[in-house]
A and B are shown apart, each in its own frame.
Chain A
Amino acid sequence: MTVRTNADRLVTQVLAGEVWPAMGDRHAYRVDADQQPFLLPGMGAVTLGVHLGDPATGWATDHLEPGLSVRHREVGANYGLQFLACVGNRVTVASGPGAGGVGVVIGQHAYVLVDAPDAVLENVTVGDQVTVLARGQGLRLLDHPDVVVKNLDPSVLEGWGLTTLPDGRLEVPVAMHVPAAAVGAGAGMASEYANTDLMGAYAGQSDDLSLGLEPLRIGDFVAMADQDHRFGRGFRPGWTTIGVISTGQCALFGHGPGPSSLLCGPSEAFAVRVDDRANLGVATGALA
């Protein structure tokens, strides 16, 4: 049965954002998981060539952020943007030669992350304005009161294939299960800000780092074991959090491809089903 929601009670807010620079400091290097210094692209600005459905790992990048990395110049307005933008929200480029180009929010990472076709991204650069149609915070699944929904545009639900089973559980297709030991930086932070870095996916680095997560793709829905992200992100046996992979390969140790948190509840509230097509690109129609 299709899940029933309160989507008809949610408002849409028009928010402004700006493509934010990639940033560094004069010391240039950070240290990777195998203790080697690195300087790599991936975070901030406009990142081309990596989209929903593409491999999340295997890139010579750090904190790979596909597409546009968006903030607001004013502190309070930026938190408003980061907290209210939801996965699946429509984004339009509002200035520069790429104006009118359309993309979709795929997650948060202290930036709002916006995927769009390379044909759009090629004409966008740092400082260009974007408009986000923010809708989703406050979304509830009416027949699943134990499941808290975060950061999710209700338009994603149908394409994702969430259903209410006859036994009352919420059936959730995911691409992979994620063990609690993988949870890295982002633990202890607010669930509406940035994401959860997953360790154990350092493609190309030492084997003793691996937790088998290298096959992750951008946009994959994942089930994180023993995680309670209802009011901040934390380890809690018996709870499950469902997220969507919004960032890719990291070199920085303790970091990695990251899911934004979408659904959380006691594990028994979910029937998690592994499905290779459980990807945001399929859910939004960007992927066939």
Chain B
Amino acid sequence: MSTTLRPGAMNLVGFVEQPESSDHPYEIDVDGRPYVPTGTAGIVLGVELGDPVDALDADHVAPGVTIAHPDPAARHALTSLSCVGNPAVVRTGAAAGERGVVVGKRGEAGRVIVHFPQDVLAALRPSDQISVRAFGQGAAAPVAGVTALNADPGLLASLVTATGDAVTVGVRTCLSSQVCGNGIGRPAHAWDVDLTLGHDAPTLAILRFGDLVVVDDLDARTNLGYRSGWCTVGVVVHGPSPRPGHGPGFLPLLSGPADLLRAEVDPDHEGISTSRLASPTGVSPERM
């Protein structure tokens, strides 16, 4: 007899990051020019959900604060288990008690991106502790054959419509899997995949932080990889990068055969916005 299992919730802690560098300040861009990366991690002020991703000369900049854990295994668990839409609360420092929401995460070593209002971001300081109510991995699929991941179940319910055997989800745009750069071949519960859109790609000009996007021929049930006839819907979690093979970050939320996971492109679609986040997480809109 099949039983629908209930997802489990955990409180995890992360620490506000400070950007790190080697003793050599430069990264190399796609045309071989050196640059000093800015905005890659930690507290970045003035970047909001809904802002155009290509409005700043920064590297992997995200709408919020990034948190991580100093122990590598705890850091991987924080990253893998945190889901977009999960509530977070500041535990130490001048902003203690302030509430935010997870809006993304990034791969490799792992980091979680948490949205706070600008006045809270300005009161944060690297090493402040933030507790995340991690909830969503293992949640039931909206329909059989489609996998949900990295999404708070309450948030996911606000994004999808089940129609018979299929599920429909609105997206801002559709991309081919060939743009998948850094992150392809890595675990989809722990990494975003960078969309390698050149600086003059038309799609780059329309993308906003929090947009939902569908990538064709991409299977994200475990590792991210090519599978014809499938698609993956995800959220744009960070901005572009001058580095080759890098670009705006795409965090998978739904993956399945394209006849079961139907993405409807709407150029005006509102993705993970502050107003949408307000409802499932209990964060009052005036604090977003």
Contacts and interface: CB of A to CB of B under 8 A. Distances in A.
24 contacts: A180-B178, A182-B226, A184-B184, A184-B226, A185-B184, A185-B186, A187-B181, A187-B183, A187-B196, A188-B196, A206-B227, A231-B28, A232-B28, A232-B30, A232-B243, A232-B244, A234-B30, A234-B196, A234-B246, A235-B179, A235-B181, A235-B245, A236-B198, A236-B244
Interface stretch (B138-146, B166-174, B217-225, B259-267): B217-225
Contacts, number: 116
What is the predominant secondary structure among interface residues of chain A facing chain B? loop
A208 B229 contact: yes
What is the predominant secondary structure among interface residues of chain B facing chain A? loop
B119 interface: no
Contacts of B178: 179-181, 183, 226, 235
A174 B245 CA distance: 24
B244 A254 contact: no
A172 B279 CA distance: 58
B217 A181 contact: yes
A226 B201 CA distance: 14
Interface in B187-233: 194, 196, 198, 217, 219, 221-230
Contacts of A230: 31-32, 244
A211 interface: yes
A237 B200 CA distance: 11
A237 B179 CA distance: 10
B244 A234 contact: yes
B280 interface: no
A183 B29 CA distance: 20
A254 B227 contact: no
Interface string A129-168: 0000000000000000000000000000000000000000
Nearest to A254: B185
B30 A236 contact: yes
Contacts of A187: 180-184, 194, 196, 245
Nearest to B196: A235
A233 interface: yes
A211 B177 CA distance: 13
Interface residues of B, number: 35
Interface residues of A, number: 36
B11 interface: no
B153 to A, nearest CB: 22
A253 B243 contact: no
B115 to A, nearest CB: 25
Interface string A63-79: 00000000000000000
Interface in A212-268: 226, 228-237, 252-255
A287 interface: no
Contact of A253 (B29, B31, B182, B222): B222
Interface in B242-270: 243-246
A187 to B, nearest CB: 4
Contacts of B177: 181
A199 B177 CA distance: 12
Given A231-B29, A231-B32, A254-B224, A185 B185 contact: yes
A209 B30 CA distance: 30
Contacts of A17: none
B179 A209 contact: no
Nearest to B222: A31
A197 B186 CA distance: 12
Interface centre among B180, B221, B228, B245, by most chain A C-beta atoms within 10 angstroms, is B245
